[in-house]
């Protein structure tokens, strides 16, 4: 049995709205193995983004167990990184400076930080745009800088919150495959949350289907390498139909 990188046990989360508890997540249990890519798909309001925020440590109040590498998650840590739908680059910094910002809390010297930042820009194919400002980059290029910034601290777990949702179809398809390549190349564990069933199928070794009110896991589908990953193949169409059925959209 594979070791566990991320352990989630009976995780529940509620907010207080108008003085009453509002359950957002209920009884979420899931393990993510080292090097595994997990897709989480579900409708708006099923708690997908809240789940990622808990895993990365941006939110901390919850019931149940949440641990990475055997240690409880009680806040942000360099071993976990997140990429949001919006690139969130600093507009006054160049691409390489934005990536360097991911090393702001490190003990590395200035020249070493720059070397590592340039290395990660090369990883996402942007070596020639190191000195460009965000306004000089396309949306897809800016998102690649954000991915490089997330990876620069060498995390073991990469979290992706609808990272391609604002991009055109061609750029989206290219970046999906680039992220898959990088995750495999770097040996990362990764979790992506998405509304896009085809994206979930393409990227995930497993697809976690969530249902809302409160957010809960309806089914975990294990994928196999091969044609089922490629949109439009009979295997992918059958898998898509199965996921849509669980989402209640068929």
150 and 175 in one domain?
Answer: no
Any domain includes 85: no
243 and 202 in one domain?
Answer: yes
Q: Could you list the residue range(s) of the whole structural domain that residue 44 is in?
A: 6-79+157-247
144 and 238 in one domain?
Answer: no
Q: Over the stretch 71-120, which tens digit does the pLDDT of each residue have?
A: 999 999 889 999 988 888 999 999 999 999 988 878 888 889 999 999 99
Instruction: Name, in order, each residue with C-beta under 8 angstroms of 178's C-beta and a sequence gap of 6 or more.
Output: 124, 125, 144
d(CA 116, CA 108): 10
Any domain includes 182: yes
% the chain with pLDDT above 70:
96
Instruction: Name, in order, each residue with C-beta under 8 angstroms of 59's C-beta and a sequence gap of 6 or more.
Output: 13, 50, 53
The predicted pLDDT at position 224 comes to 66
- Number of residues assigned to the chain: 250
Average pLDDT, the chain: 90
Q: Over the stretch 143-186, which tens digit does the pLDDT of each residue have?
A: 999 999 999 989 999 999 998 887 888 888 888 998 998 899 88
Pairing mode, strands 37-41 and 80-83: unpaired
d(CA 125, CA 121): 6
Helix (H, G, I), strand (E, B) or coil at 67: strand
217 and 114 in one domain?
Answer: no
- In this structure, the dihedral spanned by the alpha carbons of residues 103, 104, 106 and 108, taken in order and rounded to 10 degrees, is 80
164 and 73 in one domain?
Answer: yes
- CATH code, 223: 3.40.50.300
Q: Over the stretch 129-148, which tens digit does the pLDDT of each residue have?
A: 999 999 999 999 999 999 99
Any domain includes 84: no
162 and 150 in one domain?
Answer: no
Helix (H) or strand (E) holding 147: helix 139-151
Q: How many domains does the chain have?
A: 2
Cβ 212 vs Cβ 42: under 8 Å: yes
Q: Is the pLDDT of residue 1 over 50?
A: no
User: How would residue 2 be classed by pLDDT, with cut points 50, 70 and 90?
Assistant: very low
Any domain includes 1: no
169 and 229 in one domain?
Answer: yes
Q: Over the stretch 18-64, which tens digit does the pLDDT of each residue have?
A: 888 889 999 999 999 999 999 999 988 889 999 999 999 999 889 99
111 and 75 in one domain?
Answer: no
């Amino acid at each position: 049995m594979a070791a566990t990188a991320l352990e989630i046990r009976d995780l529940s989360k509620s907010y207080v709205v108008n003085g009453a508890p509002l359950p957002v997540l209920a009884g979420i249990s899931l393990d993510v193995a080292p090097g595994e890519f997990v897709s989480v798909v579900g409708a708006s309001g099923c708690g997908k983004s809240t789940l990622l925020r808990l895993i990365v440590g941006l939110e901390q109040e919850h019931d149940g167990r949440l641990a990475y590498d055997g240690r409880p998650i009680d806040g942000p840590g360099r071993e976990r990184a997140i990429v949001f739908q919006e690139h969130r680059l600093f507009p006054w910094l160049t691409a390489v400076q934005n990536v360097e910002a991911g090393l702001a809390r490190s003990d590395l010297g200035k020249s070493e930080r720059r070397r590592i930042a340039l290395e990660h820009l090369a990883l996402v194919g942007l070596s020639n745009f190191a000195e460009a400002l965000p306004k000089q980059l396309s949306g897809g290029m800016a998102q690649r800088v954000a991915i490089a910034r997330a990876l620069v601290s060498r995390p073991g777990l990469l979290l992706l919150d609808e990272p391609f949702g604002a991009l055109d179809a061609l750029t989206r398809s290219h970046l999906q495959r680039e992220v898959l390549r990088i995750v495999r190349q770097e040996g990362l564990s990764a979790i992506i949350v998405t509304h896009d069933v085809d994206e979930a199928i393409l990227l995930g070794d497993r697809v976690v289907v969530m249902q809302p009110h409160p957010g809960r896991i309806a089914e975990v589908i294990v994928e196999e390498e091969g044609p089922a990953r490629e949109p439009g193949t009979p295997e992918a169409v059958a898998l898509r139909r199965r996921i849509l059925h669980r989402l209640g959209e068929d």
